[in-house]
Amino acid sequence: MAGFGLEWIQMSYLAEVDLGSSFRPFGALQNLFGFVPNLFRAQTLLPRIIEAEAGLAAAVLGKDRALPRSQKELMALVVAAAYGDTYCFTQQHQTLCSLGVADHQLDQIVRDHHEAGLSRPDTVLLDYALKLAMAAPWLSGKDINLLRDHGFTDESILEAIVVTGLTDFFCTLSRGLDPPHDFQPRPIPGSSKAPQADLRSYAGGTAGPYLPTVELSPERFPPFALFLERFGLIPKLFRAQTLRPDLIEAEADAVRKVLGPVDILSHVQKECIFLVGSAANLNTYCVAAHCEMLRTMGVSMEESDQIAVDHHHAELSEADKSLLDFALKLTARSSEFDREDIELLRRHGFSEKHILEAVAATALNNFFNTLQMGLGTTPDYDTKHVFGPKEAHLSSAVDRPRERAQLDPDAELVGRVQNGDLDTFEELVARHSRRVYRTLMAIIGNVEAAQDAMQDTFLKAFQHIGEFQGRSKFSTWLVTIANNTGVQRLRERRHIESLDDVPSKADAEFRPRQIRAWAEDPEQLCSQAERRELVERELMKLPVKYRVVLALRDIEQLSGQETAEALGLGIAAMKARLLRARLMLREALAPHFVSSAKRTGP
């Protein structure tokens, strides 16, 4: 081990115990790395977890089957650099130096591997690893074909996926545990450019499976028997790796050792950690899987959906919420993760072992999320969430901001249309034509023009459905298009007042003039048809920005948030406009509904 001065001596976040020199996983790690990295010593409270990790590391890195070790370490190096993980970066750097790669060349590779004198296949391989680590939802069969074109076999591609996943695993552990450096920490040279996302190529990680498989029978292959017993099926994530049964064995062992025992965190707690982590990673496949797991543990689908979307509003104890906050931060905003997050869990009564298990579960989830994105397996269970491209994830090398996932009743149909099923779009048109029409009528006010604009709205929606990212509900997205289409039509028809001003002050200053009390039950004063005619007539007299906000919030009954989204407004601006609109309409309706109004109707 390299000598290092006192200044690097630090404690990791959690307590450690001495497992003695005969602890076998340490022997395996010694063989693999030439020493036992502190990353593993920081987990001595739960030896079974170190066993799982050592087994996984040996299966992934230890065997020179398809890719040579140096290629694997190079991938790990650029991925750790992209994640901004100094601990893992330093360790990979050291390993590569010991394999004979020069310092300055490594720095150049990290700065820009395209300009580092690497062979074309090496460059393509690093491109792939970075894309999988930083922009997984944009991966598609094309990326796999590019690797094949450069001579990579299916088995070596599988190895590339697993190496990237393992690096994510170890970087998450390093963030969560903050182990003392094994070597003098190396600053990460200005890191590789994050891969550019092309929205059109968004695949969402379920466009595969990309790699061929072989048949393995559960009778002869114990890991599959374990999955059958545990999950009731053999998840496609594992079926997709049958080119390398030894990898599946190591993964099954990790599942057994990390998720199996319930002496510390409960099954439900661990599944919830996997669920919120997978949602943060926008992993449709894994979210569906963990919702199903939770269902088998007695957690309703509604509840697990709520946990995936926003666990703060789920029926969980404060301690469990803080546990999931912890996992979410470690997954989604790991650069902000620090000792204080550990302290928070301690204050909620979690022990050192609880916290270690939570870190390990979060890290293992990242591993499987990366594998799934790389393999592109389609879900084993029904999906309620369709996750969109995480371009925010691309904007920073270390942050993976969680995007808002919503319960969207259209998610499944939209997914089918996105996969090319044109006929399903008809069902979406049927579901939403009234909503779109009403929105357009409120804007345009003319039946023929509104029906015409309705066709355009759906046509635009169809043309751009590939860009729909599931950040808002599909219905809100559609209403946004309808609103834009309607306003555009109206502009073409006549000059209209601007919709874009920031009118909060003017909106707030509206003063009511009609102050006579209304009838107890004003709707009895005239018939439904009369009321409809009256409302339509008076609405059309309002400036367009006011009738649109009324149409969306009070006729369509979108939520405040959805209304604001559809109009491209902030919540406060939307509320100010909405109040003004309601008050203006109130003025117009008042003469018809004051308590002395005649029953003859408007």
Partner 1 sequence: MITCDEFMADLGNYLEGDVAVEVRRQLEHHLSHCQICQVVYDSTLKTVKIVTDSGSFDLPDAAAGPIKDKIMARIRKKSVS
Query: Nearest approach, Cβ of 29 to partner 1 (angstroms)?
Result: 54
Task: Tell me the DSSP string of 560-584.
Answer: HHHHHHHHT--HHHHHHHHHHHHHH
Task: For residue 425, give both structure tokens.
Answer: 């779009």
Query: Nearest approach, Cβ of 521 to partner 1 (angstroms)?
Result: 9
Q: Does 434 bind partner 1 (CB under 8 A)?
A: yes
Task: For residue 231, give both structure tokens.
Answer: 């999950």
Q: Does 576 bind partner 1 (CB under 8 A)?
A: yes
Query: Nearest approach, Cβ of 486 to partner 1 (angstroms)?
Result: 11
Q: Does 442 bind partner 1 (CB under 8 A)?
A: yes
Q: Does 451 bind partner 1 (CB under 8 A)?
A: yes
- What is the spatial distance between Cα 342 and Cα 148, in angstroms, rounded to a whole number? 44
Residues 6+ positions from 402 with CB-CB distance below 8 Å: 279, 280, 328, 331, 332, 333
Query: Nearest approach, Cβ of 519 to partner 1 (angstroms)?
Result: 8
Closest CA to 428 of 446, 404, 408, 442: 408
Closest CA to 183 of 104, 97, 62, 121: 97
Counting residues that bind partner 1 (by CB under 8 A) gives 53
Q: Which stretch binds partner 1 (CB under 8 A): 69-77, 145-153, 342-350, 554-562?
A: 554-562
- What is the spatial distance between Cα 311 and Cα 326, in angstroms, rounded to a whole number? 12
Task: For residue 537, give both structure tokens.
Answer: 């007539």
Considering only residues 578-597, where is the footprint of partner 1 by CB under 8 A?
578-579, 582-583, 585-586, 589-590, 593
Considering only residues 492-551, where is the footprint of partner 1 by CB under 8 A?
508, 511-512, 514-518, 522-523, 528, 531-532, 534-536, 539, 550-551
**Which CB atom, from 30 or from 424, has the smaller least distance to partner 1?**
424
Query: Nearest approach, Cβ of 217 to partner 1 (angstroms)?
Result: 43
The answer to whether 133 and 163 are in contact (CB under 8 A) is no
First CA to last CA distance, the chain: 90
Q: Which stretch binds partner 1 (CB under 8 A): 108-116, 197-205, 384-392, 552-560?
A: 552-560
**Which CB atom, from 3 or from 420, has the smaller least distance to partner 1?**
420
3-state SS, one letter per residue, for 290-307: HHHHHHHCCCCHHHHHHH
Query: Residues 102, 557, 568, 570: which binds partner 1 (CB under 8 A)?
Result: 557
- Name the amino acid, one letter, at 318: E
Q: Does 468 bind partner 1 (CB under 8 A)?
A: no
- Cα 174–chain centre separation: 21
Q: Does 425 bind partner 1 (CB under 8 A)?
A: yes
- Name the amino acid, one letter, at 205: G
Query: Nearest approach, Cβ of 584 to partner 1 (angstroms)?
Result: 10
Residue 196: CB atoms within 10 A of its CB come to 10
DSSP 3-state assignment of 518? strand
Q: Rounded to the nearest 10 degrees, what angle do helices 69-83 and 120-134 cross at?
A: 40
**Which CB atom, from 395 or from 595, has the smaller least distance to partner 1?**
595
Residues of this chain that interact with partner 1 (CB under 8 A) are: 422, 425-426, 429-430, 433-434, 437-438, 441-442, 450-451, 454-455, 458-459, 462-463, 508, 511-512, 514-518, 522-523, 528, 531-532, 534-536, 539, 550-551, 554-555, 557, 560, 575-576, 578-579, 582-583, 585-586, 589-590, 593
